[in-house]
Amino acid sequence: MIEVRNLAKYYGSVRAVDNVSFTIAEGEVVGFLGPNGAGKTTTLRVLTCYQPATSGSAKVAGHDVFTESMAVRREVGYLPESVPLYPEMRVREYLHFRGKLRGLDRSRRNAAIARVSERCWLADVINRPISQLSKGFRQRVGLADALLHNPRVLIMDEPTIGLDPAQIRETRSLIRELAQEHTVLLSSHILPEVEVTCRRIIIIHRGKIVASGTPAELRQRISAGSQLIAELKGPEAEVTAGIRKLDGVSDVHSEPADGWTRVTVSARHDLREAIYKLSAEKGWPLRELRRDVASLEDFFVKIVAGAHEAEG
């Protein structure tokens, strides 16, 4: 559905997007993840035909974004980061305007507006001027606009930015719903969001793709593996030595915790049972035992930091 090959975009001498290639199949929900300034918005702008690429190619729904721009625009619903709207218009008027631009005649427009205002919970504000709406509602209006013509592809730039937690949750569940009927590409710098809504993540940093895969695949790539945390009542040195002897331990860090010893263990596999047995064997009471699976956040920070180091 979306094919990008060796896409590059320069703003003057600044390299915003550098040799980016990826493919998104129909029905996929893909998240573009990256720190601010990574090139996410630029890539989305090329895909939505707002700006042309400096080099490379991009195709959406089989149409080239440069040579078949109008065809691409008909297939795409775009929600820009700034959610630009006309403050003097009422929501209904705005949606009618956008519907006309999409080529919908009056009856189809009315039906479409009814559909999207229900989907995006706009029924209460449909006759209100946009200037009176809160950020959350404006976001929904923007999303409603993107959905009006029932496009095959939805492209959203930071769809939950500036929303309060309740609105964020609603928007995310809406995105998951939409994913069932549309191909979705969204960008974000908020990791939990991408983790929760997307089936596949593309991490972009300084214009280059540094990682791509499902959240599970990405997590497995962390070499640190899992960490175990345990608190045992015993002399720190002995506890540390005892744990270090366990099979598969790569690193042990210990610190006293009001009479107990708190150990953080890096290991290749789950050593919880082994630690329990050790505590029983040595007679050290055990009051905490848990395993922290590496989070995507660690991965993200690591990847971005790693990319930093690689560049020097």
Nearer to another protein, 52 or 248 (CB): 52
C-alpha radius of gyration, the chain, whole number: 25
Exactly one of 50, 128, 162, 298 binds another protein (CB under 8 A); which one?
50
Please check whether residue 218 is in contact with residue 296, taking contact to mean a CB–CB distance below 8 angstroms: yes
Residue 85 near another protein by CB under 8 A: yes
What's the rounded Cα separation, in Å, for the pair 26 and 153?
8
Residue 150 interacting with another protein (CB under 8 A): no
In angstroms, rounded to a whole number, what is the distance separating the alpha carbons of residues 311 and 229?
34
Please tell me the number of Cα atoms within 13 Å of 100 on its side-chain side: 5
CA dist 140 → 67, 281, 286 (Å): 31, 60, 51
Long-range contacts formed by 115-123: CB under 8 A, 24+ apart: 115/147, 116/144, 116/145, 116/147, 116/148, 117/91, 117/144, 119/144, 119/147, 119/174, 120/144, 120/147, 120/174, 121/170, 122/91
In the complex, the smallest distance separating the C-beta of residue 136 from another protein, rounded to whole angstroms, is 18
Sign of the torsion angle spanned by Cα atoms 192, 198, 199, 203: negative
Q: CB of 172: closest distance to another protein in angstroms?
A: 23
Q: Residue 31 or residue 151: which is nearer to another protein going by CB?
A: 151
Q: Does 92 bind another protein (CB under 8 A)?
A: no
Cα diameter, the chain: 80
Q: Shortest approach of another protein to residue 194 CB, angstroms?
A: 23
- Residue 62 as a binder of another protein (CB under 8 A): the answer is no
Site for another protein contains 121 (CB under 8 A): no
51 binds another protein (CB under 8 A): yes
The residue from 8, 56, 89, 190 that contacts another protein (CB under 8 A) is 89
CB of 182 to another protein, least distance (A): 16
Least distance (Å) between residue 12 CB and another protein: 9
**Residue 48 in contact with another protein, rule: CB under 8 A:** yes
Q: Does 226 bind another protein (CB under 8 A)?
A: no
70 interacts with another protein by CB under 8 A: yes
Q: Which of residues 18-47 bind another protein (CB under 8 A)?
A: 45
Q: How far is CA 126 from the centre of its chain?
A: 30
Residues forming the site for another protein (CB under 8 A): 11, 45, 48-52, 70, 73-74, 76, 78, 80, 82, 84-89, 93, 97-98, 100-103, 145
